[in-house]
Each structure stands twice: as structure tokens, then as C-alpha cells.
Amino acid sequence: LQQRRGLRLSAPAAIQVTVRDALNQALDEELERDERVFLLGEEVAQYDGAYKISRGLWKKYGDKRVIDTPISEMGFTGIAVGAAMAGLRPVCEFMTFNFSMQAIDQVINSAAKTCYMSAGSIAVPIVFRGPNGASAGVAAQHSQCFAAWYGHCPGLKVVSPWSSEDAKGLLKAAIRDDNPVVMLESELLYGVPFEMSEQAQSKEFVIPIGKAKIERPGTHVTLVAHSRPVGHCLEAAAVLSKEGVECEVINMRTIRPMDIETVEASVVKTNHLVTVEGGWPQFGVGAEICARIMEGPAFNYLDAPAVRVTGADVPMPYAKILEDNSIPQVKDIVFAVKKALNI
């Protein structure tokens, strides 16, 4: 009626959605879409999840689709992998990925290798998800980044979201994928609101696994990060922009398979590379990116050595001041960029 009267209708505006709610939406939509999908893990059902990611899902879908497990990662991960081999599509939640070490035999030897070892006859469509990397004040046994660990293993796909759109689109893509997918989330981002476009609000919105996103275009230096450090890179880029340095910020989104082509194209343009991650330096994600750039055509366009910004090479301290100095901060990224540019 308004259109007939010649009134202009505005398109639905983007809305603010927290990462927690984006993950909850993705789980809800995929549980509804495919009856083979189910969620299991510690406190995911009646308690609504340790981080409230599964809030309301047990009441909506019941005991067979949202399953509380004992505190036994090896046990419930094995059950989930077996269910995937039998044709279901489990979403296996770890209360923190540090606890996935209890089940790493199931993740690697049972899930990741089975498709190859069966000559493609047995698929394992499973998602392992939960908070990864540093939180706040939980010390060494709860603060490790597993991106390099799981990214090292063929047979797995590994995704690491930053924004709410990343979280929703990558989780939906992971659930629909016929391969085992490790989804490394950040506990510190769960409560952070991000703008979600009209497209991302659709039930069919997915983000292709293996494709990075340029969050901010720039001309002087390429900043590459995943998960929470993407936000730090954007903050550093804003600071450096005031000094006349324009950073191109790339959100990797996927650790394996790695979208090195997007990074290469950016380095060809900017001639400088800085990688940023919360994990340890040795054999890290940044080390892999730097090696791939060195081995490829973009190396010839570098005007200076690539620089890595990483977590400190120590187990995470408990004291806040030490913790802050063990995790890359905005000032560390600014320093690294100036080092790369020799300014």
C-alpha cells in the first residue's frame, strides 16, 4: 500500500548482534534445518551452555538433539565421531579447547584420518567447537591457542571467526561440510556486539570455508590476523592512519585450508607484511603465512622482511599485568608496522 502511494520503503537495516547470539542462531537454524544435526558437550542442555551459546535449544529440541555429557572429553568425543561415521552430523562442544587435548586422539586419529584411510568411503561430518586461546585470568591451562596444532593436521578444516557474521556463517558452513571441522572461537568475543547485515540474518547465510576477508583496504602494509587480534589490527590501523600509514587488514577466517592468494595479492600491492596472532611464535600460524609468502610469487614484491607479532613464548601467567604483556596489544602491532616500514 505504501509503495502504491509512492512512499519510499527503506531496506531492513543492519542490526547489532553479539557473537554469542550469532552462534546460537546458527545452531538453532541448523538443528531446525537438518534432523541429523545434534549438539553434545558438558552443560550444553539444561544449563544452556557454560557460555550460554546453546541457550534455549534443549527446551526447543529435547534430549535427543541437545545432550549433556559427563566430564569425559575422550568419551563423548568418541561417541560423536562414531555418530558421524554412522550418518549423523554432531556438533561437539569443548568447554575450552585446552580440554580437547583429552580427546585429541579421537579428533586426529579417528575423525581427521578416516576419510583418507577408507579411500573416501567413510565420511566424518562433525564439528568440534568451543573457546580457544586466551581468556582473562584463567592462566596457562586454559589459555592456549590451538590454531597451529589443528591447522597442522591434514584431514581437518580449521576455522577461526572474529565477528558475529564470521561466527554465524562459518558455523553453518562447518555443520553442512562433510569433513571434520574444528571451530576455534574466542571467549572474550562472545559478549561483543558486531553489525550483522541483512544478508547475514538469512537462514541460508554461509561463509565459504577457506576464504579470507579484507576488513580494511590499505596501501602501505598488509596486516594478517584471525580471531580477536583482527580487532586489534583494526585499532592499530586507525592509530597509524593518523600518521599517514594506511594498513590493509586481512581477517583470515580459515586457518586450514589457508587463503594465501588473498594475502599474496595484498602483499603485491603494499610490499610489506605483518602477521598477528595470540598463539606462540614457534611453528605458529604467522610462521606458516610468512613461509608461504617467501615460497610464492609475492616474495619478489616485499620491500622488507615480514614481521610476526605473537603471544609470548611462555605458558600464560595468571597475574593480569603479566598476562597483558603475554598477549599482543595494539601498541605491539603499531611498533611492528613501524619496524617493517623502517619509520
Q: Assess whether 142 carries a catalytic annotation.
A: yes
Which is catalytic among the residues 29, 30, 93, 142? 142
Give the Å distances, CA to CA, from 307 to 191, 267, 335: 31, 13, 10
Contact, 67 vs 39, CB < 8 A? yes
Q: Assess whether 295 carries a catalytic annotation.
A: no
Which amino acid is located at 123 in the chain? Answer: A
Opening angle at CA 305, ends 250 and 212, nearest 5: 15
Contact, 40 vs 79, CB < 8 A? yes
Contact, 161 vs 185, CB < 8 A? yes
Q: How many CB atoms lie within 10 A of CB 133?
A: 29
- Pairing mode of beta strands 37-41, 66-68: parallel
Of 340, 216, 218, 213, residue with least CA distance to 274: 340
Which is catalytic among the residues 42, 73, 215, 264? 73
283 secondary structure, DSSP code: T
Contact, 216 vs 190, CB < 8 A? no
Catalytic residues: 73, 142
